[in-house]
Amino acid sequence: MAHLHTRLSEEAEAWIATGVDSFSRWQEYAAGFGRATYIVAALGFFAVVILELHNSRKRRLSKLPPGPFQWPYLGSLPNLLLTVGVTSSFRLREKVSELGRNHGPLMFLQIADTQILIVSSGTAAKEVLIARDEEFNFRPQCAVGKYLGFGSSDIAFAEGRHHWYLRKLCDTRLFSADSFVSYGHIPRAEALKMLHSVWEASKKGNGISVRETVTAFVRNSLCGMLLGSAHLDIENVSLQFTEKTLITLLDETICVVGEITLSDLAPGLKRVDFHGRTRKLKELHERWEKYLRVILEDRSHRLEKSAKPEALVDVLLSLDDADMKLSNEAIMGVLLDTLVGGVYSTSATIEWALAELVRHPGVLEKVQLEMSEVVGPYHIVEDAEISQLPYFQATVKETLRLHPVVPMSLPHMNKVATSISRYQIPANTSVVIDYKAIARDPAAWHKPLRFDPSRFLHTSAASQIDNIFKFLPFGYGRRGCPGANFAAVLLQLALAHLIQAFDWAPTKGQLPHDIDVKESPGLVCFRFSPLVLSSTPRLANSLYQVSP
Ligand code: HEM
């Protein structure tokens, strides 16, 4: 036994000795490894410092605007990816905006072979959009323009003379005040239909899905004016399109367009189809083309029977001056731009306005009081009365300021090298104007995050002009929104009807401040979750009936 015990302790001692031995070897190894790590870290640190010194010297010499740290070839791409993650491409736009706010009114980003200038102050935007509008009104070539812009023949991606001509058409024939005189009965009828549907739902005590309701109003109004009220007759034609076809096309398009991928930021990576986006764009192009061709054929047949235009598409189809004739591709591009560019931006703004009014019951009460005084309870508000409602108008402006639903411009581009203030801007720089940062700039607005329509009341003519570059919800200049007038009319029409005809409140169990203002990412900035509210009719039942 004693022998066994001695052997065991000898073995244990040997084992302990080996352990101690390997532990000390491990310690040596770890110390060696630690030293190596320190050396690598120190070398890395020095490399970063040298690169940063090199970068800032390069910037100083080339007089580029300030910007984040740049790695060789990749530029600031790793910085963005580390903070945003490769998969959440939607968040890239937000991250770029955040970086811009940290670097001042002009920030220069180099991402692989792409140069981007972020403009985030009213003064800098004024220089790009007024003084340098001619230089910066180009668009970088991209897959969205190629597929959804029908080979960049639409409004948003066209350039040069073709773009100039399309914009002239928008101003004089498509989205002019005269067009609204001819086709304004369509949104007015749609507004009454919307009141009827909300009234029906509130009688049943149902919550109202504001987004669904107002998107249907804007979509039907724009489609009616653009494609004619009979556009859904194509359901009877062989291709069997339904209203759902258009809704699905619009929903899918806004989703794909809102996604920025690495290939957008770095054309060198164009061959890689991140998230299968190019495939989706190609497929959407084919579906839109099929849909819009049927409409064009249908309208052309109708025009042969009666030469009188009954919709804006007829205006496009009947341009007879040889110089002015548009190809079918260009017409389809204009229709797609108007539907995709108009429907969501306008409906998202209406939804934001109602969300803010319910969060601020005092403001809602004030708007309703003004309406009761000017319009009264015996008829539904009319167009002419809307211009006599200053507090209501101020509420719409404040919504556009606080919630610019197109938070960043589509990229503008300069084809030749130029300069802005004291900085040099190389040729082919993508210039993105951060409209949201401008509208919420604390240097321009007192308590910028507060919803306060009174900031737009009693403003002198001078401060109204001054305000133009303090908030630019529709952009400005050659690339500014051509549908701004239409959008303003639709916004005011829908909101005036909804506010006069109903009291709005959070649904049961919620308080006004439970209605949050979290934003969705993407090209159009919606409220994150669709707004559901409770509505109570304020007028006599007979006013909610729609004549067939
Ligand atoms: C509240 C509603 C709307 C807002 C906030 C809005 C805002 C904007 C903004 C900020 C731009 C880009 C400006 C830039 O790149 O610098 C834009 C462009 C555009 N918008 Fe709108 N928009 C609205 C409604 C509409 C409507 C109703 C239409 C059509 C009827 C429309 C058609 C377009 C088109 C075609 C462009 C491209 C213009 C070009 O590149 O020349 N938008 N919009």
Which ligand 1 atom lies nearest to the CA of residue 405? Answer: 5
SS3 209: strand
Give the end-to-end CA distance of the chain in Å, rounded to a whole number: 109
Beta strands in 112-227 (DSSP E): 114-119, 208-209
Going from the Cα of 487 to the center of ligand 1, the distance in angstroms, rounded, reads 9
- Cα gap 495→123, rounded to integer Å: 32
Given the structure tokens 């959407």, which residue do they identify? 284
∠ CA 392-398-401, nearest 5°, is 150
Domain-embedded: residue 491: yes
Domain-embedded: residue 286: yes
Going from the Cα of 306 to the center of ligand 1, the distance in angstroms, rounded, reads 32
Which ligand 1 atom lies nearest to the CA of residue 175? Answer: 30
Going from the Cα of 525 to the center of ligand 1, the distance in angstroms, rounded, reads 13
pTM for the structure as a whole = 0.87
Domain count, the chain: 1
The per-residue pLDDT for 511 is 95
Domain-embedded: residue 445: yes
**Domain span holding position 431:** 117-543
Domain-embedded: residue 50: no
Domain-embedded: residue 62: no
Pick from 316, 345, 399, 492 the residue to mutate for probing ligand 1's pocket: most ligand atoms within 8 Å of its CB.
345
To which H or E segment does residue 183 belong?
helix 177-183
- As given in the structure block, the two tokens for residue 493 are 């029409």
Going from the Cα of 482 to the center of ligand 1, the distance in angstroms, rounded, reads 6
Residues near ligand 1 with C-beta < 6 Å? 155-156, 175, 337-338, 341-342, 345-346, 349, 405-406, 409-410, 433, 435, 473-475, 479-483, 486-487, 491
The per-residue pLDDT for 151 is 96
Amino acid in the structure at residue 402: L
Going from the Cα of 257 to the center of ligand 1, the distance in angstroms, rounded, reads 14
Domain-embedded: residue 34: no
Which ligand 1 atom lies nearest to the CA of residue 487? Answer: 27
Domain-embedded: residue 57: no
Intervals of the chain under pLDDT 70: 1-33, 44-62, 83-91, 230-240, 260-275, 321-323, 547-548
Q: DSSP string of 491-520?
A: HHHHHHHHHHHEEEEEPTT--GGGS---B-
Q: Which residue, 399, 405, 471, is CA-closest to 121?
A: 471
Closest residue to atom 1 of ligand 1, CA basis: 346
Rounded to 5 degrees, φ, ψ at 529 are -110, 140
Residues 312, 225: contact at Cβ < 8 Å? yes
Which ligand 1 atom lies nearest to the CA of residue 174? Answer: 30
Binding residues for heme: 481
pLDDT tens sequence across 498-545: 999 999 999 998 999 999 999 998 889 999 999 999 999 999 999 999
Domain-embedded: residue 42: no
- Cα gap 235→370, rounded to integer Å: 44
Q: Give burial (CB, 10 Å; 0-12/13-18/19+) of 89.
A: buried
Going from the Cα of 45 to the center of ligand 1, the distance in angstroms, rounded, reads 46
Q: Could you tell me the CATH number of the domain that includes residue 424?
A: 1.10.630.10
| Beta-bridge mates of residue 536 | 503
ipTM, 2 dp: 0.98
Binding residues: 481
Pick from 481, 485, 492, 495 the residue to mutate for probing ligand 1's pocket: most ligand atoms within 8 Å of its CB.
481
Closest residue to atom 30 of ligand 1, CA basis: 483
The per-residue pLDDT for 195 is 97
Which ligand 1 atom lies nearest to the CA of residue 222? Answer: 30
R_g over Cα of the chain: 30
Residues 407, 434: contact at Cβ < 8 Å? yes
Going from the Cα of 343 to the center of ligand 1, the distance in angstroms, rounded, reads 10
